[in-house]
Amino acid sequence: MEKEYKRLMKRCISLAKKGMGRVSPNPLVGAIIFDDDFRIISEGYHQYYGGNHAERNAVLSAGEDLKGKSIIVNLEPCSHYGKTPPCADLIIEKGIKRVIAGLIDPNPKVAGKGIEKLKNAGIEVITGVCEEECLQLNKIFIKNQIKKAPYITIKTATTLDGKIASSSYNSKWITDEVSRNEVQKLRNQYDAVLTGSSTVIKDNPSLTCRLKNMRNPVRIILDTRLTVPFSSKVYNDDGTRVIVLTGENTPSNKIKACPKNIEIVKCPLKDNKINLNEAVKILYDMGIKSILAEAGAQVNKSIIEEKLADELIQFIAPKILGDKSAVSFVEGFRRNKIAECNNLNIVSTKVLKNDIMIVSRFSE
């Protein structure tokens, strides 16, 4: 039975992923209704923010009486009214006898209340199936709920010797087209992509998601003195939200000269640069729940030093620059002993066409 639960939970997770890029700030959720022979009756997933939850979609797509059936879901069914009615109430109403949940909802409005309601109605509840996979799936939502802060991932593309550009700042292309396509998928998964003014000036990136049927993330530029030319691609008025974080002492006449499609946000400074700790709090209050940092060595260094990074995704190409003056993906701090290094835990590794993709999580 445990084996069957795990099989179905993995299917739930696959269903939930279909909502990537569309459900934020809600969690990714999939649900499957099945009978005692583990025959799947119906499936559903949370498709977009404000839409039906996964459990309700699974119920609506079922073509038979659900009394005595079971439902498996990667996150505890909600017990409160939000954009939609409580899923726990719907499960009780339909006479479902068993609920298998991968994870207790960290949302204080739920946090075990859905399970308690189900149990009080005489429904058997099983939790913790594929818990680690369920945690990884909703890592963004979990951090949002527990720490009230955005989930921040640093993305890099490096040579084998850890360089993101040559000493003349040439960086196109270190990784191949397959790796760059993976980056497009990542952009769809995050609320926003963040970079620094130096990267925009040197590389003039678009920071868009160029894959079909996927949305562009919010573009965030750290520009302490508003030095980025207005002709830069990141400023294109393509309907995407653009936020520029600038210093609190930036002159008003400079701000007034900015294109109308840009949101200018003044931030406190630290060592004459944007105070990232304060900036991240401001962004969270502006609705930015997850950030993919695609920046240069100094911004990466600041994010790591301020302990703001949750994850590091490295695309490593089988190339060697061998130039000590070439640009590393992080620069500006020095560890004198190996024991002083920042420690990360590898979450996954994936061999692409020519490159390797490594996902690591920063230790608490």
Q: Give the pLDDT confidence score for residue 167 in this predicted structure.
A: 87
In this structure, the answer to whether residues 119 and 11 fall within a common structural domain is: yes
Specify whether 126 is located in the same domain as 195. no
| Same structural domain, 120 and 210 | no
Instruction: Judge if 19 and 119 occupy the same domain.
Output: yes
250 and 193, same structural domain?
Answer: yes
Residues 101 and 162 placed together within one structural domain of the fold: no
What is the pLDDT at residue 81? 72
Can you read off the two tokens belonging to residue 227? 């030095």
Same domain flag for 269 and 309: yes
**22 in any annotated domain:** yes
If asked whether residues 130 and 50 sit together in one domain, one would say yes
Angle 106-144-226 from CA coordinates, rounded to 5°: 180
Number of domains, the chain = 2
User: Is 144 among the domain residues?
Assistant: no
The C-alpha atoms of residue 112 and residue 78 are separated, in whole angstroms, by 9
Q: Domain ends where: 94, 109, 138?
A: 138
Q: 294 is in which domain, residue-wise?
A: 149-362
The answer to whether residue 143 sits within a structural domain is no
Sign of dihedral through CA atoms 277, 281, 284, 286? negative
Q: How far apart are CA 91 and CA 8, in angstroms?
A: 18
259 and 175 assigned to the same domain:
yes
206 within domain boundaries: yes
Q: Are residues 42 and 63 in the same domain?
A: yes
The reported pLDDT for the residue numbered 290 is 97
Return the CATH number at 39. Answer: 3.40.140.10
Report how far apart, in Å, the C-alpha atoms of 53 and of each of 31, 118, 317 are: 9, 17, 40
CATH number at residue 256: 3.40.430.10
Q: Containing H/E element for 282?
A: helix 276-285
198 belongs to a structural domain: yes
What pLDDT is stored for residue 1 in this prediction?
80
Tally Cβ neighbours within 10 Å of residue 48: 12
- In this prediction, residue 13 carries a pLDDT of 98
Q: Which of 43, 55, 76, 311 is catalytic?
A: 55
Residues of the chain falling short of pLDDT 50: none
198 in the same domain as 54: no
Same domain (yes/no): 235, 357: yes
> Is 101 part of a structural domain of the chain?
yes
Question: What is the tens place of the pLDDT at every residue in 228-277?
Answer: 999 999 999 999 999 999 999 999 999 998 999 999 999 999 999 999 99
- Angstrom distances, CA of residue 197 to CA of 34, 102, 202, 220, 244: 53, 42, 9, 10, 10
| Average pLDDT in the chain | 93
pLDDT tens-digit series, residues 321-334: 988 889 899 988 77
Active site residue 55: yes
The predicted structure's pLDDT at residue 288 = 97
Single out the residue in 138, 163, 195 at which a domain terminates: 138
Specify the pLDDT at position 134. Answer: 97
Using the 3D structure, point to which of 138, 161, 189 is the last residue of a domain.
Answer: 138
- Order of strands across the sheet with 344-351? 262-267, 242-247, 218-222, 192-196, 290-293, 151-158, 311-316, 356-362, 344-351
Q: Give the model's pLDDT for residue 267.
A: 96
Contact 175, 157 (CB under 8 A): yes
